[in-house]
Structure 1
C-alpha cells in the first residue's frame, strides 16, 4: 500500500501566483491599516482657531486645512454662507463638528477622510407664540428678584419678580435667554421647546476678565499693571447732571474735582494726584474716542459708555508729553450688533436754589452799627431813630434775595441705537437749559452725536463718529474787581437802600450809604449783556484692518473746529449814568487735525506666553485765530453790540494767530507668562514746536511689572481669594506748560507812542523776551500697588502708593527793571507729590435685598523741592486791593504757600500796657511778634498755611429692593484752607465803607472782650490786611447726591410695548457739614495750581430733580 504525503507540493508557477496574491493581500492589509491609522490620527488631531461672525464655509475650510477632512454637502440643504462664531481650543474633529452642527443646524457623518453634511432634523422655524415660565435663583436656591431675562438678539425681555419668577413670550422654540443679575455671571439658557425653565446663576468670578480701555487699546482688568480707576454708566445714571465733570466728583481715589464756580457753565478744576505745574494747566488730558485733547464740559453724560482714569506713569506714559497730569479716557456709546433698533428718551428737570447765603446785617442792624461806629469816631450820626424804626417796618433790602432766584434746569435726550451683523448705529440729540440761580445768567446747550461702525468684510471695519455742539452762555461777572461783580456788591451794599429810586432808576450809594465806587447789585446782575456762543464740530473716522490672525492695523483721522464768539455790552444804568457805555466783540476759532496710525500684534505661545505689541505714529496740529474789536460812548442803548461804529471812542482792534505742531512715535509691549507674571514696557518720543530749537524732542519711557499671586499653586489653600496682584511701575511723563512761541522774542504793536510829543502813532516794539532754552517739564513717578478680590469678587480692595517728582518746573521769574521787561519764563525747580490711595468696594448683601458699596480715600502731600538756587519765589497777592504779596513758592513747602500776619485774638483791657508797646490798644487785633523785637512789621509775616487739601474721599452706596433703588453719594476733603476775601469786604470797616457782616455784632467792646472781632477803632486804624484772620478751614463732608429710582415691571411694560422705563427723584448738595463761613468750601476764584482764594464767585446750589429713562 502506498503512503500519502501530508504535505502538498506546489509547482513553481503556482508558487509565483500565490506570492503575488499574498503580496497583494499584504499590501492591501497594510494600506488598510495605514488608512485606519491615518483616519485615527486625523480624527484625534487637536484644532485651535477662533472666528467671529464669519461664513460657515470659511470654518469648514479651516477644519480641512488643520485635519485633512474633506466636506461633501448639497448647497440647497446646507447654507454655507450663514454667519457662525466658533472658538476652538484643543478639541478633536468630532467635538468640533458636534458644536458646529448645533450652531449651523445640520447633521453629519464621518467616513474615513470625508465628512458628509445633511440637512438638520431640528431646523428652526416659527411656531405659535407661547409663554415660558421660570425661576431665577442663586446657587443656594435664594430667589434673585429683578434679574433681567432677555431673548438673545431681540429687545424682548422681562424682569424677575420678588420671588425670582418670570414669564416671557416667544415664537422661537430654539430661542436663547440671556439672564443677568448684578454681582452674578451672565448666563445663556437654550429654550429647546421647554415651557418651564429653572435657572441658577453663579456669583460673578469673571469681573477680572472685564475689558477696560487704556491708551491706544484695551486690556483685561486682570492683566492691568498700572493704576487706573473707572466710572461706569450706572454712576452717571444715578446722578442727573448736564456736566460730566460733576459726575466724576467723589467717584475715584486720587481724582479731586473742585466746583470752583457753580455758574451754569462755570469752571470745574480736576486734579489727579495733586498739582505738578505753576505756570501751566494742572488739568488732566482728556481723550474722547481716541481723539486727544477733548473738553469734558461739552460732552453729554448720557452719551458716555465708559470713563477710565489713568493715574500712574505705566498708564499715562503712552501719552508722553501730555500725560503728567493724568489722563481721562472717555468712550462714547455705540449700537449693539445683536439688537434691534431701540428708541430711547431720557429727561430730567431740576429745581435749584442757592445752597447758602452769607450771614449779613439786616437794615436795622446795619443802621445801628453804622451809628455806633460814627459815635466811636465822634462824628455825626447818619440815621435817626425814625429812620431805624422805618427800616424795622419795611425790612429794608436783602440784596442777596434781590440778585438770587430759584431756577429750573431741564434736559431732554432722544436716541436711537441698534445694529445688524455688519453694522451698528448710535444717534443721540440732547437739549439742556439752565436758567441759573443768579438773575441775568443762563446757559443753553444743543448737542448731536452719531457713532456708526460698518464691517465691510471679515477683515475690514470702518467707523465714523460725528459730534455737533452749540451753546449759548450768558454768565454774570463774578470775582475780580468789586465794582463789576453783583456778588461783591450784594455783600457790601447798604441794606437800608431800596432797589429803585422813586423815578424808577436804580439806587446808587452816596455819603453814608457806602463807598461811591459801589454799584447797585441788581443792575450789575441784569443790565450787562454778555453773550457767549460756542460751536463745536468734531469728526473722527477710523479704519481697522486685520492683516492676519494676529496682526491688525488701525488708522484714525480726526478734525475738530471750535468757534467762540463773545459779545458784550454794558450800559450806564449800573453807574447811574456816571460812566460811558461800552461794547466789544471777541472771536476765536480753534482747529485741531489729528492722524493716528497704529499696528497691533497679539499672540499666545505654547499656552503660557502672551504677547501684545502696539506701535503708533501720531501727528497733531492746533491752530488758533482770534480777534477783538470794541468801542465806548454810545448815544443810545438800542443797538447794544450790534453796531460798534456808533461808539464815540473806538478801541484799537486786535488780532492774533498761533500754531502748534506735535509729532509722536509710540511703542508698548505687554507680556504675560502663565497668567502670573505681567510686564508692560512703554515709550513715547514726542516733538513739539513750542520749545527751544535744541529741546523740541523728548523721550518718555515707563516700565511696569505685576505678579498675580492668586494664580500660584501655593495660593490654592486660600480658596476665598479670587485675585491677589502686586504691581510696581516707574516712568517719566511730560507737560507742555507753555504757549506757542514762548521760546522766541515777541514784537507787539501799540498806539502808545507820541513821536512828536503830542500825536500818538502806531509803533512796534519788543514786547516779550524769548527763552531759547525752554524745555519740557518732566515728571518721574514711582507707583506700588495691590489689587485684592475675595469671596467670589464680592469684596474688592485696591491700594496704591506713589511718589511723583516734577523737574524743570516752568515759572515766570521777575527781571530787574533795568531790563525793560517784567519777567522771563524759565525752567527753575522741582515739585513733589507723594501719597496713597485706597479703594474698597463690593456687594456685601445680595438676594432679595442688595447693597452695593464703594469707598475711596486719597492722601496727597505736595512739596517744592528746589527753585534753581533760590529758596523762594513770589507769586503775588490774593487779588484784593492794598494787599501785599501773599502767595509764595518756598522750598520745603507746598505750592501756593500763603503768608501773612498771624492774629492771636484781640487786645484786652488788662493788656493795654503791652498793647501800647506795639502801638496798639484794647480792641485792636493782636498779632504775633515773630522775631520778638517789640514791633509788628514785615519781619513778622509768617507762613499761614496752604490751600491744597491733605485728603479727599468719596463713598457711594446703592440699596435695592425689588424694583426700587436708593443711591447715596458722600464726598469731601480734609485739610484744605480758603482765603475768604468776602470777610475782608464785609467784616472790615474802612474810611469809606461800613461792615455788613453779622459778625460785627460780636465786635470787641469793654463789655465783650472774649472775641476775635476788633472794635470799630481797631478795625479802622490798626488792622493789617493779609492776616490769618481771613484764612479758614474749608474741610467738608457733603451729601453730594441722593437718588431714589423705580424700574417699572416688565409685565406692565410689555402690554404697553415699552422695553424699559425708570423714574427717579434726586437731590444734589442737600447737606454739607463744614466750618467754612463763605458761600461754598469748594469755591475758588483763581483756578491755577494752588487755588483756594474765595473772591465771591458764583455760589453753589441745591437741586431737586425728577426724571425719566424710557426705551421702546
Structure 2
C-alpha cells in the first residue's frame, strides 16, 4: 500500500491519539499469529501479513523495493516478534496508529540532530558518535551489497554498498555494549558485539531456510532437514488449478513416483492413484491410506479448497508406523485450521467453468451412411429418413460448473476458530449427469492453563446428491455405447412424440430414451466429529488424545418407466429399485511424545495406542410390474412382482476393528547424523480365526548430512547434501473378513419331501495359518541443495518385495470341504528410481520464475506363486476381459514376468481381400481360415503399465501477474483400444461405426466385413503421451485501496489442455491400477477439457 500526502496529514493529526492508545497497540503486538512465507519478496510478505492480521500497512513504495527471497515460518508467535523479524533487519521501523501499521525508514546515527532543537531530548545522546566500518562477504569471500547492518534494540542502521562495505555511526556511550545485526536474504543473520571496535568485518553463511520447513509424518511432524525417508510435500499454491474431480487430482504431475490419472469425465468419478506400482493380487485394493487431519478419510470427500498441504509418505520406512494400512503409501491431508488471528476475517474463492470433449470420436454421418448404401455396402432399407448426430443428442452444450467457498476466521490467543462453507455444482458433458455437494466445516481451538492445555474440536457436515443411472454413476456408460452404434438416419422420436425404438435388434436402444425414460437419485450425507486434547505439562513432553466419530448415510433409487425399452422388450411394466447404506467409523488414538536437546544431541520418543472400528449396514430392494409410473422408485411396494415372489431383496451387515500399539524414537547429533526407528504391533478382525492375527511392522531410517562434515567446509557448491537410507515393513489389510475360518453358504433350492428347501454347504475352507501380506521395502535417497537454494531436489532408489500374497489354490475335496483354499504364498517385486529437480532461475522483487521437474521409473514383477504346500497348476493366470460379444481375457500374469502384460493373437498382416493373417504358436504367418485360434497361439502383445513417468511444473510471477503451467507424461506402455476394437465393427452392417473402419489395415486392404470382432494386436497401440495439463493466468489487484477488500485475484485456467500422443482413442490416460492396466473401456465417460474463470478475495 503506497503512502499518500493525505495519509501523512492524517497521521500527523492523530499522532497524539496514537500515544494515548499505546496500550491498545501493545495489545495488538502481543497477539499470536501463524505466519509462513518462503522465498518471496518483501512486498508479498507484507501483503500476506495483511491477510493474517486484517490490518493495513502504510508505507512508501520505494521503502520495500528490491527486497526478495524472504523466508519466515512463525507458529503462534507474537505479532511484534514477527514484525521485528521481517522489518528490523531491513532498517524499517513500524508503529501502530489505529488499525494501521505505519512503516518508515530507520533513522541512522550518521545524521546529527539540530543542536538548536531542544524539543527532542531523546536525541541528545547522539551528539557524540563513534564510527564503525567494515566489509561483509559471503562464504566464498565475495562482497555482499545491500546487507542490512543495524543496532539491536534501536532503529539505527545502514546497508553495505556495491563493494560490501558499510559505515555506521553509533553514540559514543553505546559503542561498548552495542550489538550489531547483519542480515541479508538467503543468508543466516549474525549478531556481533561491537565491543568498542572501530572495524568489524563479517562473513555471512548461506541460509538453510528450506530445511526448517515442517513436514507432516506419521503421528507428528519433522523439520525438513531432519527427514530421513522419502516424503513429498505439495502446498496449496502449487496444486492443479480448476474443477478437479477430487483432491487426488490436485497432485497430478507433482510427485515423483505417484501416478494420478482421471480416466473418466463423469462428475461423480474420481482419480485413480498408484504409488510405486501394484502390491497385491487379490488380498486388498491398491489405494494409498488417506488421512485427513490425522483421521482416515477419502480424497473424494475432502473439499479441495479447504486443503493447506498434502504430504505423501512414499517409502516403507515412512509408512510402517501405520502398519497394515501402509503398504500402498500414505497421503496425509492437512486442511486449513483455526489459528490465533485477532480480528475476524472473511475469505472468498469461487470459479465458473465449462467443458468440451477432450477428443470427439469421428463417426460416420447420415450423409456418409447413405453414401455407403448407394455404394452397396449397406442395405437400402437401413435409410430411415432422418439425420441425427446421436452423440450431440445426448450432450450438453458447454455445461456450466460453479464452485463457491466462504471461510470465516478469527478469535484471540485463547480461543480461535475457522468456519467454512463450500458449494460445488458440477454438470457433465452428457445430459442429466451432475454432482452437487454442500459442505460445512468448523474448527475451534481453545487454550487453557498458560497454553499448556489445548483443546481442538472439528465438525464436518457434507451433503451430496447426483442423478443416478443403472450402473450407479451419474451417467450410464451403456448410453454412450448406444450413441456410437445408432443408425444416424434414425429419428430420435416418432411422429406421435414417443421415442423411436427398434426392439427387434439385439442390444440396441435409443440413447436419448435411456436418459429420459429413467429416473434416479443418490444422496450421501457425511457427518464427522473429531476432537484432540493436547497437554504439555512441562517443556518437551506432549500428551495427546484424538477421538473421531464419522457417520455416513446413503440412499439411492432408480426406476425405468413403462416407455423404457427394458419394459417394451422384456415386459417388466415399470422397473424401480431402492437401497440404502449406513456406516459408522470410530477412532481413538492416544500418544505421548517427549523431545529433548542436550548440547549437540537431540532426541525424541513417541508411544501410542490406536483403536478403530467400523459398522456398515446395507439394504436393497427391487420390484416390477407397476400399475403406474407416477411414483417412480418412491413406492417400491406397489409393484406386483414382489407379491408373486419375483422381486429382489437383500441386506448385509459387517463389523470390523483394528487395534494397534506403536512407538518411534529419533536421534540427531550435531544435525549431522540422523536416526529414526519405529515399530507397530497390530491386529484386525479380517484375520479372525487365524493363529496369529497380530502383525509386527518395524522400520529404521538413517541420515548423514555430508555438508556438515569438516571436509566439506571449503567447497562452494552444495548448501546441503544429505544421504539417507530406510528399511520398513508394512502390511496389506484384506477387504474380506473371517478369512481364517471355514464358512458355510446358502445355495440353490432342491425339492425334498414335496417342499423346496434351500441348500447349505461349504463356501470356504479354514486356514488358521493365514497372516498378513507384508511389504519389505528398502529406500536409498539423496537430498541436495546448491547455489544458495537456487537448485534443490532429491534422488531415490527403492526396492519393494511383497511377501505372503493371498491367492486361491485348488485343493482336493475331500478331504477338504471346499475345492479351493486361500493362502499366503506369492511374492511380488517393485523397484524403481525417482528424481526431483527444483530450480529458481530468476528471483527478483518483481520477477520470479521457479521450475520443477520430476521423473520416475517402475518395474512390477510377480516373483513366485507356489511353495511346498500350495502349488498352482500352471505358472500363470489370466485376468481382465473384453465383455460381450468377444468374451475373452485381455491380460496374463506370469511368474517371473511383469504385471500388466496383454495376451492375445498377433496379427502380421491382412490378405488382399481384407482377412486377418495371424502368427501361430510356431512363429509362422497363417491365413485366417487356417488359424486355429487356440490358447497356445496367443502371445504377449505389450504391457499396460508405463515404465516411465515425468512431470514438469513452471510458476512465473511478474509484479501483480502470475502464470503457471503443469505438464506431465507417461512412456513405455501400450493401450488396448476398446473403442476401435468394437466400434470399427464391420460385421454388423446396421450399426454406425468409426470412420477409421475405412482405413486400410497396414496400408493393404480395408478389413473384410466377414471378419468377426476379435481381440488381437492390431488394437494394441502405443500409449505414450505428454500433456500440457493445467495452464493458469492470474492478476492480483495489490494496488486496490479499500477498507473492506484486500488484494482480490482473478484468474483463467484450462485443464487437460493439450496432449501429444500417437494413441487414436479419446485419451491415453486410462486406468493403470489392478492386474489389467491399459484397458480403455468402450463404455467410458469420455474425458473433457475445461475452461475456468475464477476469483478470490479477502475481506
TM-score range, shorter chain: 0.7 to 0.9
Match of 1:915 in 2: none
- Give the secondary structure class of the aligned counterpart of 1:830: strand
Match of 1:329 in 2: 332
Match of 1:314 in 2: 317
Offset, 1:236? 3.1
Contact preservation (8 Å) 2:50, 2:57: no
Of 837, 850, 853 in structure 2, the residue corresponding to residue 852 of structure 1 is 850
1:843-897 deviation per Cα after TM superposition (whole angstroms, max 9, x unaligned):
2101122101111111111111111154112335333433223322101222232
Offset, 1:335? 2.4
Match of 1:1063 in 2: 1050
Match of 1:262 in 2: 265
- Give the secondary structure class of the aligned counterpart of 2:53: coil
Of 920, 937, 958 in structure 2, the residue corresponding to residue 929 of structure 1 is 920
Match of 2:254 in 1: 251
- Give the secondary structure class of the aligned counterpart of 2:249: helix
CA distance in 2, matches of 1:350, 1:371: 44
Matches of residues 15-414 of structure 1 in structure 2 within 5 Å?
124-125=22-23, 146-149=44-47, 150=49, 154-157=53-56, 165=64, 178=83, 190-191=93-94, 196-197=104-105, 202-203=185-186, 205-236=208-239, 238-241=241-244, 243-279=246-282, 280-291=284-295, 293-369=296-372, 374=377, 381-382=380-381, 395-414=387-406
Of 1035, 1038, 1045 in structure 2, the residue corresponding to residue 1046 of structure 1 is 1035
CA distance in 1, matches of 2:476, 2:557: 20
Contact preservation (8 Å) 1:238, 1:967: no
CA distance in 2, matches of 1:401, 1:1035: 32
Offset, 1:247? 0.8
Of 435, 442, 463 in structure 2, the residue corresponding to residue 443 of structure 1 is 435
CA distance in 2, matches of 1:530, 1:278: 35
Offset, 1:285? 0.1
Q: 1:648 to 1:179 in 2, by over 3 A?
A: farther
- Give the secondary structure class of the aligned counterpart of 1:755: strand
Instruction: Report the more deviating stretch, 781-790 or 515-524.
Output: 515-524
CA distance in 1, matches of 2:803, 2:750: 45
Contact preservation (8 Å) 1:157, 1:1059: no
Match of 1:578 in 2: 569
Match of 2:162 in 1: none
Q: 1:777 to 1:316 in 2, by over 3 A?
A: same
Instruction: Report the more deviating stretch, 1098-1107 or 865-874.
Output: 865-874
Q: Which 5+ residue runs of structure 2 have no aligned equivalent? A: 1-18, 27-39, 67-78, 97-101, 107-147, 149-182, 187-206
1:635-687 deviation per Cα after TM superposition (whole angstroms, max 9, x unaligned):
32111111111112122321111111111111111111111000111111111
Matched, 1:416 2:421: no
1:515-557 deviation per Cα after TM superposition (whole angstroms, max 9, x unaligned):
4321111122333223111111111111111132222211111
Of 497, 508, 525 in structure 1, the residue corresponding to residue 490 of structure 2 is 497
Offset, 1:269? 1.0
CA distance in 1, matches of 2:903, 2:954: 41
Instruction: Report the more deviating stretch, 975-984 or 757-766.
Output: 757-766
Offset, 1:306? 1.3
Instruction: Report the more deviating stretch, 279-288 or 583-592.
Output: 583-592
CA distance in 2, matches of 1:1085, 1:218: 32
Offset, 1:985? 1.9
Offset, 1:821? 6.3
Match of 1:660 in 2: 656
Q: 1:240 to 1:649 in 2, by over 3 A?
A: closer
Offset, 1:148? 2.6
- Give the secondary structure class of the aligned counterpart of 1:632: coil
Match of 2:417 in 1: 425
Contact preservation (8 Å) 1:276, 1:806: yes
CA distance in 2, matches of 1:1069, 1:723: 37
CA distance in 2, matches of 1:153, 1:988: 62
- Give the secondary structure class of the aligned counterpart of 1:486: helix
Contact preservation (8 Å) 1:633, 1:649: yes
Of 451, 470, 478 in structure 2, the residue corresponding to residue 485 of structure 1 is 478
Match of 1:1097 in 2: 1084
CA distance in 2, matches of 1:321, 1:900: 37
- Counting matched residue pairs gives 930
- Give the secondary structure class of the aligned counterpart of 1:653: strand
- Give the secondary structure class of the aligned counterpart of 1:485: helix
Q: 1:383 to 1:1026 in 2, by over 3 A?
A: closer
Matched, 1:689 2:689: no
Contact preservation (8 Å) 1:1085, 1:1094: no
Matched, 1:610 2:602: yes
CA distance in 2, matches of 1:637, 1:419: 55
Match of 1:532 in 2: 522
CA distance in 1, matches of 2:946, 2:91: 49
1:810-854 deviation per Cα after TM superposition (whole angstroms, max 9, x unaligned):
234467899896854332311111111111113210112210111
Q: 1:1037 to 1:165 in 2, by over 3 A?
A: same
TM-score by length of 1: 0.79
Match of 1:509 in 2: 502
Matches of residues 829-908 of structure 1 in structure 2 within 5 Å?
829-847=826-844, 848-868=846-866, 869-870=871-872, 871-908=875-912
TM-score by length of 2: 0.80
Match of 2:580 in 1: 587
Q: 1:981 to 1:1089 in 2, by over 3 A?
A: closer
Match of 1:51 in 2: none
Contact preservation (8 Å) 2:241, 2:250: no
Q: 1:479 to 1:275 in 2, by over 3 A?
A: farther
Contact preservation (8 Å) 1:178, 1:189: no
CA distance in 2, matches of 1:206, 1:557: 35
Contact preservation (8 Å) 1:520, 1:574: no
Contact preservation (8 Å) 2:830, 2:861: yes
Q: 1:872 to 1:236 in 2, by over 3 A?
A: same
Of 1051, 1060, 1064 in structure 2, the residue corresponding to residue 1077 of structure 1 is 1064
CA distance in 2, matches of 1:154, 1:143: 18
- Give the secondary structure class of the aligned counterpart of 1:488: helix
Q: 1:488 to 1:769 in 2, by over 3 A?
A: farther
Q: 1:397 to 1:1085 in 2, by over 3 A?
A: farther
Instruction: Report the more deviating stretch, 575-584 or 199-208.
Output: 199-208
Offset, 1:1003? 4.4
CA distance in 1, matches of 2:692, 2:554: 33
CA distance in 2, matches of 1:566, 1:221: 46
Contact preservation (8 Å) 1:177, 1:190: no
Offset, 1:471? 0.4
Of 615, 620, 632 in structure 2, the residue corresponding to residue 623 of structure 1 is 615
Q: Which 5+ residue runs of structure 1 have no aligned equivalent? A: 1-120, 129-141, 168-173, 909-921
1:110-135 deviation per Cα after TM superposition (whole angstroms, max 9, x unaligned):
xxxxxxxxxxx99945699xxxxxxx
Matched, 1:1033 2:1022: yes
Q: 1:178 to 1:1089 in 2, by over 3 A?
A: farther
1:767-803 deviation per Cα after TM superposition (whole angstroms, max 9, x unaligned):
4445433321111111010100122212112110101
Contact preservation (8 Å) 1:1085, 1:1093: no
Offset, 1:189? 5.5
- Give the secondary structure class of the aligned counterpart of 1:506: coil
Contact preservation (8 Å) 1:242, 1:300: no
Matches of residues 627-706 of structure 1 in structure 2 within 5 Å?
627-650=619-642, 651-691=647-687, 692-706=689-703
- Give the secondary structure class of the aligned counterpart of 2:770: coil
CA distance in 2, matches of 1:311, 1:548: 34
